[in-house]
Structure 1
């Protein structure tokens, strides 16, 4: 298939475009196209590849085979080193025999930390919990459900912090422990998100579609668990499709997700599992995300005005990502002051989450990039998100 650069150059020539012509259509610089075609740039973002794919009228995955996703930085990997050791079973078993009730209680007690993205505190608790879970399952197979839920959360958090190999390992182990199809579907939804963050669009779309077909409920009789599982898989499929330059498919799947959300009757959290929170507001935020991927800042602002974010708890997997989309839309419309205020708000609500967001760094870079002087607040936020400026 050749390198990304060779494939872009080949399609560009077939379309009869110069490098400048392609750059104009894609809304990027001619120097970027030149560097990509010369294989001098390997850190190109998925969103940029999508713009080029749209301009050339091909799926984004045409250019994805060698796309490298950004992984965790050294500071993050140091923080999570003890968790990785426990996840891979490299620690000694606990000296005191754990109990299923004790592990379940510890997991429930830790849930506020997960919901509030207090990563450093979660990181101190997880090694013991993982060791206890493995020890328990060795003696009592009925404890696999508790371990599966723990591993699902670990896989989600490793995805959040861009530790992708560990996320894959944790989610695969979680699936081995799942004996309920809806629990498995929720884990698959997180796995699809992992694939999306790695740029594996085809794999994410196919996995989400396959599982959505398997768990599709009869709407008139569906439980909140069933609607949430089905709806989230449809949202993952839509997210993959829009990034792969398949807008019709993305629209179809998100309409189905809205059907599930309306039947839900509101945004609900089955079994108090925040990863399964689903309803009309969740779908509305994902519609905004799709509009941002399509580079429609006007549509993002229009849609966002109907979403009551002030009524939502600050959760990283929904609200905060939505706010970053709104901030980016405002930035692209040259409303930099409003965009900056949103970034400041996200920092206040979820500081540990924000430091793991390349998206936030890119938005801030766009805000301050051409300014001759920076305010103290701008320098402070740039340092906080580890932006080189």
Structure 2
């Protein structure tokens, strides 16, 4: 929440609710686990970069929603400036300025190009995706009705990658268009799920929860007749509801949504890809990882590690985003329980298997910063990792 007006609004709301609850700054600090001096500086408007996780702690202590304290705004992660070399061609293609194709594209050539995206999607190789997307986005626009489904799926792929790499302003209209033109309900729901995730990455918790809940309610399947694809998409939407609710200080709602998602996962019985245009997964393992993520949000590191012990160390989709995010939750839990060597090993493995993904994660930098704060000197491995993930000096 870097904007001064947003910080001032947060400060005013914290002060107002604290006063209404009859709490001193010292008492609020004790209840939230935040230092009294930090609370004091917040209410004075001194802090300029307040994390969503910190606002959630204050909200829990004050018994209000996180969204209320933020005034409906907030950004868990800042948008980054577009890389003019990497993402400018994608932007040009999205607004119709990519120029004419060199050869007349066909439905089969576009379909083959989209199929070829699956490997870099699964491997989180964003530079390869950035090179392939502009051509496909340009070519798919040359088809009318018969290319509409491919267009929606490709726009969801582009929106998903742009959200991953924090190109938020570019991702928003891309996903809205993917939803609008989708002919298939599952394709529309896949794009909605990505749109929900975009809301979450920007800290727009109420919007995320409302959108995911609406679509989950509309798509609720009859278990006796539901296809795997229907159960999978419904489960993914419920996971999104849980993700938003836990961050908005609604743990009961988060748990209820996760129970329903778990029922869908048990019905399926194994991990599957949740849609054809992203690398998201769903199944019992994914639900377990989201359970651990919720525990991390609630500052329950021991529970995170207990859940992690029950999750396979060799999952079917080892580089899925859910799996990678789970590994960050594990690294965070290890760090806060002062098992720094183990945490560093987890981060190093992530840097090896998903370097481009890790570089786009503010969470990873926060974990490493926490670790560094407890160290008087840094090992060469720590310094190399800091450079790899872009940790500021």
Partner of 1:45: 51
Question: Which residue, out of 255, 259, 264, partners 1:255?
Answer: 259
CA contact (8 A) 2:246 2:294 kept: yes
Partner of 1:337: 341
CA contact (8 A) 2:75 2:201 kept: no
Residue by residue, what CA displacement relative to the aligned partner does 1:149-187 show, whole Å, maximum 9, x if unpaired? 110011111111111111111101111221111111111
Q: 1:101-250 residue pairs with structure 2 within 5 A?
A: 101-136=108-143, 140-250=144-254
Question: Which residue, out of 22, 28, 32, partners 2:34?
Answer: 28
CA distance in 1, matches of 2:309, 2:77: 32
Question: Which residue, out of 91, 107, 115, partners 2:98?
Answer: 91
Does 215-224 or 304-313 show the bigger shift?
Answer: 304-313
1:272 is displaced (CA, Å) by: 5.6
CA distance in 2, matches of 1:177, 1:76: 28
1:90 is displaced (CA, Å) by: 2.5
CA distance in 1, matches of 2:135, 2:124: 19
TM-score after normalising by structure 2: 0.94
Inter-CA distance 96–272: structure 2 relative to 1 (3 Å threshold): closer
Inter-CA distance 205–11: structure 2 relative to 1 (3 Å threshold): same
1:221 is displaced (CA, Å) by: 1.6
CA contact (8 A) 1:288 1:304 kept: yes
Equivalent residue pairs, number: 386
Residue by residue, what CA displacement relative to the aligned partner does 1:127-155 show, whole Å, maximum 9, x if unpaired? 1111111222xxx2210111111100111
CA contact (8 A) 1:314 1:349 kept: no
Extract unaligned runs of 5+ from structure 1. none
CA distance in 2, matches of 1:144, 1:80: 24
Partner of 1:306: 310
Inter-CA distance 386–271: structure 2 relative to 1 (3 Å threshold): closer
1:9 is displaced (CA, Å) by: 0.8
Partner of 2:3: none
Inter-CA distance 98–73: structure 2 relative to 1 (3 Å threshold): same
CA contact (8 A) 2:160 2:278 kept: no
Q: 1:314-325 residue pairs with structure 2 within 5 A?
A: 314-325=318-329
CA distance in 2, matches of 1:270, 1:386: 31
1:124 is displaced (CA, Å) by: 1.1
Does 324-333 or 275-284 show the bigger shift?
Answer: 275-284
Q: Structure with the greater relative contact order (CA < 8 A, sep ≥ 6): 1 or 2?
A: 2
Find the residue that maps to 2:282 and give its secondary structure: coil
CA distance in 2, matches of 1:226, 1:156: 20
Inter-CA distance 273–163: structure 2 relative to 1 (3 Å threshold): closer
1:115 is displaced (CA, Å) by: 1.0
Inter-CA distance 297–127: structure 2 relative to 1 (3 Å threshold): same
CA contact (8 A) 1:234 1:253 kept: yes
CA distance in 2, matches of 1:215, 1:253: 14
Partner of 2:69: 63
CA distance in 2, matches of 1:49, 1:77: 34
CA distance in 1, matches of 2:110, 2:82: 29
- Structure with greater helix share of residues: 1
